[in-house]
Amino acid sequence: MNSYARFFENLQQDLKAFIYWCLVFTVFRIAFITIYNGQLNGEYGDVPMALLLGLRLSLKTAGMIALISFVFATLPKLIVKNWPADKLRFCWHAVALVFFAVCFMTRIPYYKIFNAAFNMMLINGAHDDIYAIFVTAVKEYQLLWRFPLAMVLGIALAYGLRIWLHKLPAKSFVEVQHKKLVIALTLPVLAVLCVFVRYGGAFNYAHSINWESAARLKSNLLNEAILDDGQALYRVRDMKRKIDKVTNINITVAQLREKIAASGGNKAADSIDKAFIHTVKQPKLAKQPRNIVLIVGESFGNWPFLPKYKDLGLVDNMLSLQNSADAAHVATMLPHGSGTISAVNGLVSGIPDMGLYENYQANSFNGKYATGIGYIMKQLGYKTVFWYGGFSGWQNIGKFTKAQSFDEFHCADEFSDDSGNAWGCSDAALFKQIEAYMSKEKEQEKVFHVVLTTTNHPPYSIDVDGMGFPRAKVKSKLPADIASDEKTLTELGHIWYADKTMGDFVKQAQSMYSDTLFVITGDHSERFSFVKEQDTRTLSSIPCIFYGAGVQQAWFNDKSVGDHMQLAGTLAEIVGPAGFTYAALQSNMFENQDVVFNHRLYAADGKIYTHSSDTDKKITEYINSMRGVGAWRVLKGDAVK
């Protein structure tokens, strides 16, 4: 038998093992849903979709497992005729099956405890009292019979695989007709299959699925069921890697007080929140508006507003607001970080970005950040509502915002929208829901809305041309540093679409409540690919526009700087009564302080700089001290003791 014949027959065994794994993960998924089916409240309509999404995601896990046996069993057989491929393949899959059987049996009580498949609590548990955990597992979660049962289950699955591999028909290469054609097609077919598996049942990123985008259903149970245990463990690993980048905080109380002082706070205060108390001297608006709407646009950078690009017409609606007599804007605004969740954390917690991911930290669910925007607006008498165009399972956003002083959270889980994609609903559908909500507000009710959009994001699936995007006109005006291919134009069309939907919403909301105060900003920039290198302002800055009755252009000037952390305090200064006190680590935007910063940049005097070893020592001390205070607040709590 020649080398290819051995390869052909062993490859079939790998493919059979791959299919077997997909079936195993599906059975586990069905069993998991069945065990906790009471949480579905009799609503089983989304179960088929959960199974389909789960199967797609499990293609990746099954593919990785099969790939290992392919590399260490099938490929060596090409060269070494007597290589024990069958034995190695079976041994590898048997060990993996026992491992995943243990994971599945562990997932059942784990979900009961944490309402999730494996998550960051798995890492936190590693630093806890291991003995206490063991005793609890024995007494409360049936470790003594669950573990042996898991082993039996794994062995049974391994035995099933043995039967599957030997009994499922396979074709000998000797029996194959058109042998040359089969040989010629083997590698291309394998390549296509690998791409299909890599993207979770798709052939490109736009239609792919991964653990971050898998939470697409209303039920938390079904969203967790979509993740097989391999993907759930990968989620833990991914989060842990991000947190590990943060420098550990191990300082004394005296050192903390010095950091508070270096950050501009009161070092004698007995809590961090009290150390950074500010008082409104005179509100900017004579009367509190009935509605305040903060729109955080997905990937809504400032570069289309700049003189070089504004004639493209991508942000005409927001430019019109910015230039209105009833508007003020901060010319140099830094995002909180490079991703959406960073912006959410910055706004909701008011803490500097250090990679700690407040949305997963225990203290974020055990108490309130007084520096957070929801907390401050509630103190001002506003009902707080968070709107998200994606799904509540993404980055724990639903639980996080509700834990941090938002009375309500609404997202794409609740909306029906055919124009949405894997990340959520269209901006138009989201704003339509908000308009309907606002139309039903009570007469004396004051409401603060935070709106986080999603559509200006890959896979760029909105039919922008059908919406009126002037593709040809924009193409004719493109400068040399922007590509003129259709893919780039479609991406520009989504910026145009984001601006259009925001503009339409502002007009509609203002027609309902003429005193509405709007704040328009972006979650981050740095996502658009220019043909030529650009300066930091073009790449990284975001807009920040205040618009509404009583707003004055003179509030800010060309040298004004700001960041996400300052928005809460700035709103307090605009609508808070004289004497109102609030906590904020950074001063509000009206004070035009010397330095604002984010995860890697800082801004001063209307200019943006990269924070590096060459940065002025005083600025570096301020930034590092602020981060140290923020890390203490997140990890150790508010008390200075």
d(CA 219, CA 162): 36
d(CA 264, CA 321): 34
d(CA 69, CA 72): 5
634: in domain: no
Where is the domain boundary, 219, 243, 267? 243
Same domain, 290 and 235: no
Same domain, 196 and 111: yes
435: in domain: yes
Domain count along the chain: 2
252: in domain: no
User: 88 exposed, middle or buried (CB, 10 Å; 0-12, 13-18, 19+)?
Assistant: middle
DSSP symbols for 84-151: -HHHHHHHHHHHHHHHHHHHHHHHHHHHHHHSSSS-THHHHHHTS-HHHHHHHHHHHS-HHHHHHHHH
d(CA 448, CA 492): 30
Residue 180 CB-half CA count within 13 A: 0
Same domain, 235 and 312: no
d(CA 358, CA 365): 9
pLDDT at 242: 55
Domain CATH for 494? 3.40.720.10
Residue at token pair 């984001």: 498
Residue at token pair 């079939």: 12
Same domain, 508 and 427: yes
Structural contact between residues 560 and 606, judged by C-beta atoms closer than 8 angstroms: yes
Same domain, 285 and 232: no
Where is the domain boundary, 243, 261, 293? 243
Structural contact between residues 35 and 64, judged by C-beta atoms closer than 8 angstroms: no
Same domain, 182 and 45: yes
Same domain, 481 and 595: yes
398: in domain: yes
Using 50 as the pLDDT threshold, list the residues of the chain that sit under it: 127-129, 132, 245-247
d(CA 296, CA 545): 11
d(CA 56, CA 321): 44
d(CA 473, CA 206): 26
258: in domain: no
630: in domain: no
Same domain, 204 and 304: no
**DSSP 3-state of 582:** strand
pLDDT at 246: 45
Same domain, 38 and 132: yes
d(CA 4, CA 10): 10
Same domain, 593 and 448: yes
Whole-prediction pTM value?
0.72
Helices 85-114 and 47-69 pack at an angle, to 10 degrees, of 140
Structure confidence by residue, pLDDT tens digits, 278-319: 999 999 999 999 999 999 999 999 999 999 999 999 999 999
Range of the domain at 129: 3-243
| 597 membership: H or E segment, kind and range | strand 596-597
263: in domain: no
Same domain, 308 and 373: yes
Q: Which ranges constitute the DSSP H helices of 168-216?
A: 179-198
pLDDT at 139: 61
250: in domain: no
Same domain, 232 and 283: no
